[in-house]
Amino acid sequence: MAERKKITLPDLFKKMNDGVPITMITCYDYAMAYLVEKAGIDMVLTGDSLGMTMLGYEGTLPVTMDDMMRHTAAVRRGSPPSWLIGDMPYMSYQPSDETAVRNAGRFMAETGCDSVKLEGGRQMASRVKAIADAGIPVMGHLGLTPQSVSALGGFKVQGKGAEQAARIVEDAKILEEAGAFSILFEMIPDRVQKLITERAHIPIISLGSGPHAHGQLLIFHDMFGLYPRFTPKMAKVFGKAGEVILDGLKQYVAEVQEHQFPQPENWFGIKDDQLAELEKLVASE
């Protein structure tokens, strides 16, 4: 398959302006990225959700910059052309603008990603500005922001009431003015999303926030039944890969136990003369 053309920021803005939906997915390793690339996905997020999906933590807070570096670089190797976003983990940007710029720079230099993402509204505007001023495209993340789940009172829809929704609308404007190239909205009501998309001049991406956005994001593991703890309402299961893998594993166990695996096509032989010589060699030892 010929490698597709590299997705650039102007390509994403063109899609937005032409009303062509932008596709986005999370992705955490080389093998997944290879498939994502074959499917022609526009934007790929190596999310700190890997703390849950790949590392088995309860949430995203234990994820480190080193975790993110390793996984984001692997995704880059599997999908060079997509627009790759490295997700800034907990406390890699919250302490100060300088910390944020240094860690965003580390993402770009060490993983080859195209941009970074951070969570938060007006309180993170100076971080967004500092990163954008350093020449690094930065995506905002509003609505349900998992790194603040404790302060938000759990994994629940944000902006259901008018006042909270108005704050999210204002935050979107503030992040856009601070220099975000795009904003992701997680779990806000569809008509709040619509209002925001209508006012925005940058690509707006929805995760569980309805159809009125320039693009959609889903979590890879939710789409393919690969996360054992739960599948959120916002996810659609596009294939039961988890079941396929489990069936294969059960069959493997059975075949090994019943001496059905391996078969000659699964092993390597040695020529008769070499074996005879080997037997002599080991006999004389």
Q: 255 is written with which tokens? A: 């075949």
184 binds ligand KIV (CB under 6 A): yes
Q: Which of 177, 186, 258, 279 is catalytic?
A: 186
- Applying the rule CB under 6 A, the residues between 129 and 148 that interact with ligand KIV are 141
Q: CB under 8 Å to 30, separation ≥6 — which residues?
A: 74, 75, 77, 78
47 binds ligand KIV (CB under 6 A): yes
Residue nearest ligand KIV, CB atom distance = 47
Tell me which long-range contacts 152-158 makes (C-beta under 8 A, separation of at least 24): 155/187, 155/232, 156/187, 157/187, 157/188, 157/189, 158/186, 158/187, 158/188
Is 127 or 141 the residue whose CB approaches ligand KIV more closely? 141
Is 76 or 269 the residue whose CB approaches ligand KIV more closely? 76
- Identify whether 186 is a catalytic site residue: yes
87 binds ligand KIV (CB under 6 A): yes
Apex CA 131: angle with CA 34 and CA 21, to 5°? Answer: 45
Tell me which long-range contacts 91-94 makes (C-beta under 8 A, separation of at least 24): 92/65, 92/68, 93/118, 93/124, 93/127, 93/131, 94/127
Stretch that binds ligand KIV, among 14-22, 44-52, 67-75, 174-182 (CB under 6 A): 44-52
Q: Please work out the total of residues on this chain that contact ligand KIV, with binding judged by CB under 6 A.
A: 11
120 binds ligand KIV (CB under 6 A): no
| Residues in contact with ligand KIV by the rule CB under 6 A | 26, 45, 47-49, 87, 141, 184, 186, 207, 219
